[in-house]
Structure formats: C-alpha cells, structure tokens
Structure 1
C-alpha cells in the first residue's frame, strides 16, 4: 500500500494543488505569474490557466523529488516510474510553455497506452510474458492462463487511456482533474477482480 501511494504521489500532489488553485484563483495566478511566466510563450498567465499550470509545475517537481529520493537511497527505480517521469516532464513542460492543458490531459493516456502496448508487444513479438516475469516466482499457473492474464492487463490499460481522453475533452477541466485522481482507485479494484480469476488457476507447488 505504501509503495502504491509513493508511486502515485505526483498525481495526488497535482490534484491538491489544482483544487487549492481553484479555490484561491487570484493567489494562484499571482504565484504562477511570478514563478512560471518566464517559462511560457505568452505574455502572462490568466486566472483560468493558473490552477492547471501551477498544478502541472508542482507535479513535475514532485516527480523529480520522487526519482531523486530513490536514486539517493540507492533503491531500484521501476521502469514504469521512469516512463511516468519522462512523460510528465515532456508533456508537463509543453503544457506550461504553450499554456495549453491539452498536453497534460494526454499524459495519462500516453502512460496507459505505453503500458498496454508493452504487454502486447512483449508477448506477441518477443514471446516474453511481462506478468509471468514479474510474478512467476510467487505464482504458478499454466502458460495459457498467463497469456490470458497478460491480455487482460493490456486491454485494461488501453481502455483506461481511451476513457481518460473521453473525460478530458468532453467534460470541464475540474471534472477531469477529479477523474484523474479517482481513476487511481480503479487499479486496486482491478487487482481484486483479478484475484478471483487467479484463484481458480493457481497451482500448488510440487
């Protein structure tokens, strides 16, 4: 649980900052103009832009701190964290520079699709089941079940990416920010459902 919260720390920080910026729009605008205006292509940051730009900037900082902590502590940085760090830095920077929230709205989808495509490509082209590599030491199952589970994960991530885009561009910005946080809860729920599927197929070690 603690690892999960650590991994999603930048998302939580993004949500808190955005909601604070919404409630304190003028203060948020002043801070954003003081800190971020030099990094934008425009002449100033508007009242409407300030919450999302400030939240994006602090999410980038949180991601840098997250990676830095792991490196300084000489702990392993998971591939997914590196992917998330790279994407939040690139898409977040573009959001701030162009003062356009479309970039940061695409960020979760790009991450989800990277995960989903990785599951598919590794299995189809390299005959390497990522789930089996990660969990094979703790769980023993037939190879065909591993393949089904791998496909389920791929479909889950691709579907979440599509859902994010739908919400991002069909609902108000504030609704999308809330969805971005609450959708994190979909993963534990998915894992619980997955456990029922696994229970029928896990084999006892000989």
Structure 2
C-alpha cells in the first residue's frame, strides 16, 4: 500500500500534464493549468501535501519517501526555475539509481542487506535468498532508471505516459515476481521449521 501512496503525486502530475493549457481562477488569482510546468508545480505541491500528511499521521517518513520528496523538490524547482523539462526528466533515473546504490551498498554496510531490514520482520529466509532478492532489487532499480532515461530523451511524446504507467507497471510486475519467488522459498522453509 505504501508503494502506491508514492504514486499519488505522479498521477496528479500526469492528469495536469495532459490537460490542454488554460487559465483558471483560483482564490482570486489567474493560474495557468495544463502542460509540463503547471504539472510540475502540482507535483511539488501534492508531494509536500502527501508526505506532510504521512509525516503527521505516522510521526515519520521512511528514507525512501524522504529521498523521493527531496528529489521532487530539487528537480521540480530546477524545472520551474529554468523553464526546462530536462531537469524533471532526470528525476526518475536519478532516484532509481540512488535506490539501487542503497540496496547495493547494504551488501557492504551493516549485518543485513536492505531488503532483509525492510521485510525481515515478516519473513524468515536463508541469508543467500535475502542476498539474491536484494541483488534483484539492485538490478530492477538500475533497469528502471535506464528505461526512464531512454524513454524520456528518445520518445518525448510518450515519456510522461511511460513515467506513470510504465514505472507503475514495471513495479507491479516486479513485486508479483518477488511474491512468487518468496512463496516458493517460504513453502520450502516451512517443513524444515516444523521438523526442528
């Protein structure tokens, strides 16, 4: 569920991006709505609101949510300041590669890989399975970053569609594949635990 909350600002960005540019009256002010720059402003504001509500509700944000929020503020602000979509196109690849670096770095820092720290309270697995699963996340984030970068700078007309639906689709497929992989190993572990 938490992973999908992160997509709320992205979906709002998509909706506003796809609108035909128009001027609307909002609280006595004329606001341009539609296109990349108003969509970027909506992305920034909705990210602050979503993560702000989460912070108030949970009394904290996860590191991944902080990273996403900070990246949105930096790349979104640069996009608006320089009036160039190029900065926003780099946001998804950079965030994905930072996640990949975090997962990879956890193989060398600490006693548990990152995926084990995240899921270890709910699932018991042998260390080699945790290592493989963590490396799968590294590969996924590298691939996702490269795919976003390639589409953003090669297919300008569909990069926003890919950013929303392609990224979401890749994430869902990966989570399903992870679930199948985990189910196979959890099933294998149950008889051994009952023998002990």
**Superposition TM-score tier, normalisation by shorter sequence:** 0.7 to 0.9
How far the C-alpha of 1:71 sits from its partner, in A, is 2.6
Give the structure, 1 or 2, with the largest relative contact order (CA under 8 Å, sep 6 or more): 1
Q: Does 1:60 align with 2:44?
A: yes
2:72 to 80, 88, 96: 88
Q: Does 1:79 align with 2:63?
A: yes
Asked whether the 8 Å contact 1:29–1:51 carries over to 2, the reply is: no
SS class of match (1:200): helix
SS class of match (2:107): helix
SS class of match (1:124): coil
Asked whether the 8 Å contact 1:63–1:85 carries over to 2, the reply is: yes
Structure (1/2) with the larger strand percentage: 2
Runs of 4+ in 1 over 6 A off after TM superposition: none
Unaligned runs of 5+ in 1: 37-49
Q: Hey, what's the Cα distance between the residues in 2 that align with 1:160 and 1:193?
A: 15
Q: Which residue of the partner structure matches residue 161 of structure 2?
A: 178
How far the C-alpha of 1:111 sits from its partner, in A, is 1.0
SS class of match (1:128): coil
Aligned length in residues: 187
Asked whether the 8 Å contact 1:28–1:51 carries over to 2, the reply is: no
Q: Hey, what's the Cα distance between the residues in 2 that align with 1:133 and 1:69?
A: 25
* Structure 1 length-normalised TM: 0.83
Q: Hey, what's the Cα distance between the residues in 2 that align with 1:127 and 1:5?
A: 29
Q: Which residue of the partner structure matches residue 7 of structure 1?
A: 6
Q: Which residue of the partner structure matches residue 151 of structure 1?
A: 135
SS class of match (1:201): helix
Unaligned runs of 5+ in 2: none
Q: Which residue of the partner structure matches residue 69 of structure 1?
A: 53
Q: Hey, what's the Cα distance between the residues in 2 that align with 1:60 and 1:201?
A: 41
Q: Which moved more, 1:106-115 or 1:183-192?
A: 183-192
Q: Which residue of the partner structure matches residue 15 of structure 2?
A: 16
Q: Which residue of the partner structure matches residue 171 of structure 2?
A: 187
How far the C-alpha of 1:69 sits from its partner, in A, is 0.8
Asked whether the 8 Å contact 2:103–2:113 carries over to 1, the reply is: yes
SS class of match (2:61): coil
